[in-house]
Amino acid sequence: MPGGLAVVVCSAWFSAPLAVPVLGAVAAAAVAVEERYRRR
C-alpha cells in the first residue's frame, strides 16, 4: 500500500507544474467564448 501512495504522490508532484498552463488555456477559452457570444 505505501508503494501505491508513493506513486500517487510522485504523479501529483510532477503534474503540478502543468496545472498553470492548463488553467491559462481554460481561462483563454472562457474569454474567447464570452467574446464570441458578445459579438452576436
Separation of alpha carbons 11 and 26, rounded Å: 22
pTM: 0.55
Taking only the tens place, the pLDDT of each residue in 1-40 is 688 999 998 888 888 888 888 999 999 999 999 888 888 7
Separation of alpha carbons 22 and 5, rounded Å: 25
Q: Burial letters for 2-35: b for 16+ Cβ neighbours within 10 Å, e otherwise?
A: eeeeeeeeeeeeeeeeeeeeeeeeeeeeeeeeee
> How high is the pLDDT of residue 2?
83
> How high is the pLDDT of residue 1?
62
At which residue does the C-alpha cell 498553470 appear?
A: 20
